[in-house]
Amino acid sequence: MAAASGSGEDVPTDGVPADDLRTRDGSTEGAPVEDLRTGEIPTDLDPHPADAVYADGPDTAELELADAAATADAAPATASGAEAPDGQGAAGEDADSSAAKRSGAHADDAPDPGKAAEPDDVIREPGDVAADTADDESGEARRVGPEGETRPMETDGERPSPKAALVYNPIKVDADTLRDTVTRLAAEAGWSEPLFYETTVDDLGDDVTRQALEEGVDTVLVAGGDGTVRAVSEAMSGSGVPLAIVPSGTGNLLARNLRLPLTEPEAMVRAVFDGDTLPMDVGWTELARPDGSTAEHAFVVMGGIGLDAAMIANTNPQLKKTVGWVAYVDGAARALPAAKPFRVVYELPGHRLHSSRVQSVLFANCGKLPAGLDLIPEASIADGALDIVIFQPKGPFGWLFVWRRVAWDNSFLRRFRAGRRVLSLRTKDNAVVYSRGAGIELATQKPQPVQLDGDEFGEALSVKTRVEPSSLLVVVPKGHTTHDL
């Protein structure tokens, strides 16, 4: 998709007027670019769950029916041995069949359980069973290389111990304490001595993570800010090696969305040895720069183009170190006065091309922000899709609708049944438009700033995102609730 150009209200694409655009098969049906400057929502996009509880969502009667159905599903099952209706047993069998089983009756041709259970007076030792070997093989365990060639076994012929690697940002963590914790818990679990890698300004963690994977580690731990987690996740995507996140730094966005313990680093280190793993999606973004170059990077939480990226670029780094994520308020105050809507042409896979004047476009794998804000309450890290959020407030007062939607509607009212009823009766505004799909491709008239997981990634004329479902294994504590992630 080419970048939009020109001025005024016409949006040429590759030199072709908007009204003369054709579909890819040459037909004219559904071809014109739809202009959203009037506030109209694209009619060909599937409704997003984030909009479902508004005016076009479920009414009060539907909510009551859903509540009644949920109550019925939660009712305890018929107690074991209790008499079921119509003469049926607890497992759905008729009374005669149940009585026959209780009396021990069986068909004439059925084997006698008593005779089948009689021993044959033969006690077998492991040595009595012939080894399952091939020609010239001893049947003993052996270590092989990538091509199947025999290699020496470590630790006197015993199975090699698993090994973990820790990638950490020395500025964000207490390095000595963290290394000691990982070493101690690894030894208690019977693992080999861990490997340790420090990130630098030139290597945010992706290069050293690839080195760790080449060493054959069984798990990688990451401790640092959101940028470090993003870089390590990029290197590990598709590797099949679990990633354990030790919350550190300012935002901890992925840890928050996974609901991991944020103040107990030892709990996450221990989860490496006795926890569970959860497969999650990873988003990828291809950026086309103004100079014609391209670059592709991964993100695990969300990325964006426009005002949100400008806000991050205007955040004072020293203030961020001092007060944490609250520093983004300062960045927003710096970015908002100069914020102007820009023209964007975008397309979701399988849908039409659309045009709109926006302040920002987000593509998200997760939906939660710091301070308990739910930007996308229905976002899931394991649904194989990205959630697209388009901010298009009309004037200064339009930002009030954006704030109400994110801070009040999504983050508070949706938590209560009465609040959901209020939302179902409210007229929906178009300051925030949601969509969902396998990605989004968009182009702008002028270069716009881009951010991925809270880090600046320069300016781009076009952005193409995609999702790789379940390409990253993340470690969670044993018994951690994951069904609603």
| Secondary structure string (H, E, C) spanning 206-264 | HHHHHHHHHCCCCEEEEEECHHHHHHHHHHHCCCCCCEEEEECCCCCHHHHHCCCCCCC
Distance CA 298, CA 468 (A): 10
Count other Cβ atoms within 10 Å, centred on residue 189.
14
pLDDT value of residue 402:
75
Nearest by Cα to 232 from 261, 208, 250: 208
pLDDT value of residue 379:
87
Question: Does this chain's domain 22-65+283-471 share its CATH topology with 164-274?
Answer: no
Largest CA distance in the chain: 95
pLDDT value of residue 62:
61
For the domain spanning 164-274, the CATH number is 3.40.50.10330
Distance CA 189, CA 192 (A): 9
Instruction: Output the CA angle 351-472-369, nearest 5 degrees.
Output: 70
**Three-class DSSP category at 195:** strand
As beta bridge partners, residue 297 has 285
If you count DSSP H runs as helices and E runs as strands, how many of each does the chain have, helices first?
A: 13, 19
| CA 409 vs CA 29, 184, 220, 401, 405: distances in Å | 38, 46, 38, 10, 5
- What is the Cβ-side half-sphere exposure of residue 256, based on CA atoms within 13 angstroms? 20
Q: Who contacts 371 (Cβ-Cβ below 8 Å, separation ≥6)? A: 325
pLDDT value of residue 371:
65
In eight-state DSSP terms, residue 93 is -
pLDDT value of residue 1:
58
User: Each residue's pLDDT tens digit in the chain (485 positions)?
Assistant: 544 444 444 444 444 444 444 444 444 444 444 444 445 556 677 767 766 655 555 555 665 666 676 666 655 544 444 444 444 444 444 444 444 444 444 445 555 655 544 444 444 444 444 444 444 444 444 434 444 555 554 444 444 689 999 999 988 899 999 999 999 999 999 999 999 999 988 888 999 999 999 999 999 999 998 999 999 999 999 999 999 999 987 778 899 999 999 888 999 999 999 999 999 999 999 999 999 999 999 999 999 999 888 777 656 565 555 545 544 555 555 656 667 889 999 999 888 999 999 989 999 999 887 767 788 888 899 999 999 999 888 776 677 777 777 776 776 667 777 777 766 666 666 788 889 999 999 999 999 999 999 888 999 999 999 999 999 999 999 999 888 88
pLDDT value of residue 413:
67
The encoded tokens of residue 445 equal 């008239």
Alpha helical stretches, state H, 290-416: 307-313, 317-323, 327-335, 398-403
Q: Is the CATH number 2.60.200.40 carried by domain 22-65+283-471?
A: yes
The encoded tokens of residue 409 equal 């509607």
Distance CA 164, CA 215 (A): 10
Regarding beta strands 353-358 and 342-347, do their DSSP bridges make them parallel or antiparallel, or are they unpaired? antiparallel
- pTM, rounded to two decimals: 0.67
Domain spans in the chain, listed from the N-terminal domain onward: 22-65+283-471, 164-274
